[in-house]
A and B are shown apart, each in its own frame.
Chain A
Amino acid sequence: MLENLRDIIENPDVIVNTLPFLWRGIQLTLIVTFVGVFFGFIIGSLVGLMRLTKNKLVYGIATVYIEVVRGTPILVQALFLYFAVSDFFGVNFTALQAGIIAIAINAGAYIAEIVRGGVESIDKGQTEAGRSMGMTATQTMRYIVWPQALRRMIPPLGNQFIVSLKDTSIFAVISLGEMTYLIRQYVGTTGDPFMPYVMLCLGYLIITIPCMVLLRQYERRLDV
């Protein structure tokens, strides 16, 4: 083990050599995460609100979606989308498209629950105040409940962003050239795994740690 350590110190090239891979991979990781979570937020908002209606059918559809997604691993979802769905419907997703769709659908289900919880956490008196002025249910949601709910949703949404970001690493199985995939490839060509994987961890931490710090600051501000 000590020998290995000396190796690393005498041979910092490995670190430098991983950097271009990391840099390329991190971009794709971020693109997939941002675009995926963006659409996930749209899906989640709709589905979350569907869970709040009294209409049994609408509620049922939303519930089935949420439970199916939350009850299956994202790895399986990605494989299903990339291989099964594209085969069945005869559409050819690129790995990038499949990755983004998988994140959107997966995050959408979790965000739906965040949205439902956020909206439910707003005091009913707020809705009553809006409705008693003659505002419609939609207006009340849009101008009164949603803006307040959104503020409370930001910490869990931030967490979901971090989770989704880490989830993109499994897209290595569909050969999406994000960080994990590229580093694995690099290791495959050099056969020297230790430092590249350390660098890979750092690649994720460099994004996730600032996110977590920001979220904690926001939560502290929300508390006061």
Chain B
Amino acid sequence: MITVTNLHKSFGDNEVLSGIDARIEEKEVVCVIGPSGSGKSTFLRCMNMLEEITKGDVEIDGDRLTDPKTDINALRSRVGMVFQHFNLFPHMTVLENVTLGPIKVNGVKKGEAATQAKSLLEKVGLSDKADAYPGSLSGGQKQRVAIARALAMNPKVMLFDEPTSALDPELVGDVLEVMKNLAKEGMTMVVVTHEMGFAREMGDRVIFMDKGVIMEEGKPEDIFDNPQNERTQAFLSKLL
């Protein structure tokens, strides 16, 4: 589904990603963990060209991101992204947030988009909030709307960048629940997270990043219970 080859990313002189190779298979749930500043977000953001790739390449669903012939907008519409700070559109209702992409990007008819949006809102447990504005929602509700908004594009992959980090602890569960259901339905997911419980339970694979490279990857039980790399051990021991 996604193949990352020798991915480098620099901001000016600051090399943030120093050669990342990774493959994400269809229906796989890959969790990315690592210390702050290790380049997790940058890695994720390179996967839909929110950051320009300095060197190397990412191939998604057969399209290479650095190929000038690739229609980036079309490709992005097939890659859902969920942000730490939700980034809902505050001037639109929840329903409008969810229908905007399908209507403007995919040319779906308004009524049809609304029907689909309502069923997605039901799926994330927010059917009663369709006409509310984001400002009146809790963080957990906002994030669930953001997930519904991304799903409305019928993406092939969902990228999550610390989707629960900005939430009050008691609201984290609802969002994780929605993500678990998605994973169970077979959605391909790449999740940058500090929720080790989620990574352990739902992750097919865990990637540990440090200083712009993948230090270690493997099944969650191997990474968490028997880490091989010194840095992984240090990182995990600090979490306990």
Contacts and interface: CB of A to CB of B under 8 A. Distances in A.
A131 B81 CA distance: 10
A128 to B, nearest CB: 6
A167 B139 CA distance: 48
* Range for the number of chain B residues in contact with chain A: 20 to 34
Interface string A133-159: 111100100011001100100000000
A125 B88 CA distance: 9
Contacts of A139: 104-105
* Range for the number of chain A residues in contact with chain B: 10 to 19
A143 B101 contact: no
> Mostly helix, strand, loop or mixed at chain A's interface?
helix
A147 B92 CA distance: 10
B91 A133 contact: no
Interface of A: 123, 125-126, 128-129, 131-136, 139, 143-144, 147-148, 151
23 contacts: A128-B83, A128-B87, A129-B83, A129-B89, A129-B149, A131-B76, A132-B76, A132-B79, A132-B80, A132-B81, A133-B76, A133-B77, A133-B100, A133-B149, A134-B75, A134-B101, A134-B153, A136-B73, A143-B100, A143-B104, A144-B100, A148-B90, A151-B91
Interface of B: 48, 50, 73-81, 83, 85, 87-91, 100-101, 104-105, 146, 149-150, 153
Given A129-B146, A135-B73, 7 more contacts: A126-B87, A126-B89, A129-B81, A133-B101, A143-B104, A148-B89, A148-B90
